Amino acid sequence: MKTDNRNLQRTMTSRHITMMALGGAIGAGLFKGSSSAIDMAGPSVILAYLIGGIILLFIMQGLAEMAVANSGARTFRDLVQSILGKYPAYFLDWIYWKMWVLNIAAESVVAAIFLQYWLPGYPIWILALAVSVLVTAVNLLSVKVFAETEYWLALIKITVIIVFILAGLVLLLVTFGDHAAVGFSNLTDNGGFFPNGSKGLITAMLVVIYSYGGTEIIGVTLAETKNPEKVVPKAVRSTLIRIISFYIIPFFIIVSLIPWNEVNGVPESPFVMVFQMIGIPGADHIMNAVVLLAIISSMNSGLYGSSRVLYTQAVDGRIPKIFSRLSKKKVPVYAILMCTSALYLGVLISLFAGSKTFEFLMGSLGYTVLFIWLIIAFAHLKSRKQQSGKPSGYAVKWFPYTTWAAIIALLMILIGIIFTTSVIVTTITLCIYIFITLTYIWKKRLHQI
């Protein structure tokens, strides 16, 4: 095995990283977290996802601009360190790694929950273990095999979401057989569009931000992407349109078809509930299978992202060199195996917490996505100053207004979330951030940074 970063192969194309971003963002947050978000905000969850989508648009445009200006960058740290300095880059690298390893642990449990739909006699932890082994095996293959697997998994779930949208619109608007068109009365019945007031909307933003988190994985693919200065902006543009469409329209259909206060009281996903309403034999099983594939796809992306962060840390001598070793397939095998340990940690947690594991981890992950987006936004602001105005190549329109709008919105959401989120989740997350900061101070004193 070799440790030179140049041995990472640039085999991923625009279609690969576009589908990877979709794979990272369209997962448990959409298919399982949707129930929690609807329970918090009611029909106004549509507005919450619209706000989150606009913020995501502004953040990703800034990320694309920085990637084009620094085509030699491998991950977020390379983009941020030259702009904001060592500590923000170090902090970003490790909270991003922490986000993905916790996320894949949470999603392994969610995948197990959907497997229980068919295998009710098996405990969560056994099913989570089976999924974890499968995802580990796929990532240990070559990058090209991984990218192709992720591409087709993402394509399957996108196709089914489109079918879901079309079927939902038929149920809403068309009367046929014994079915009467549902219409849109559920948007205002049962307490109105804002049944839990502004507090419900703000609380749901944590789930929203968590759900959209993962799109920024584009910033981790830089070292293995052909012509990143061209591919990344293209992938950002196409990904954003699809993600916003695949969240807002499905949520509009769900809260229109099903009374919002009935969504969170059942074990299956709202997507499965809607397919059951269609009345096609086996439709619920088909949708359950697709949801399961979607979550495995998201785990696949998460393991990729976290292992590449660990790999570049090792290449730069910040952690033991063993994590920079590549297999014959040019895959950082030890970095992947280290990150998969989080999957098995999730299995252990599920032994005690069961299906509640997802809700517990989701709160901490929402905080982390907020901070990742804030650091990217501040780096984008400062990057323009270093370039003395408008950069060559790709440039964000309406700069700096869009970036400042994203920062202000994220800070407002952060304040709202602090006051509405469990004290335990907030405290654990704060302790993790303090630990990362202390390790930075310690390494700096030892002149390792």
Q: What is the mean pLDDT of residues 409-419?
A: 86
How is residue 349 written in tokens? 């947690």
The pLDDT, as a whole number, for residue 436 is: 92
Question: Average pLDDT for residues 218-228, to the nearest whole number?
Answer: 57
Cis peptide before 400 (omega within 30 of 0): yes
Express each pLDDT in 330-343 by its tens digit.
778 888 888 888 77
Give 399-411 pLDDT, tens digit per residue. Answer: 888 999 999 999 9
Q: Which residue has the tokens 């944590």?
A: 206
- pLDDT tier at 362, thresholds 50, 70, 90: low
Q: How confident is the model at residue 23 (pLDDT cuts 50, 70, 90)?
A: low
Dihedrals φ, ψ of 298, to 5°? -65, -40
Look up the pTM and report it. Answer: 0.79
Residues 278-308 have pLDDT tens digits of 776 777 787 788 778 877 877 877 787 788 7
CB 61 within 8 A of CB 241: no
Beta-carbon contacts of residue 198 (< 8 Å; ≥ 6 apart) = none
Nearest to 52 by CA among 214, 197, 205, 276: 205
Structure confidence at residue 3 (pLDDT):
41
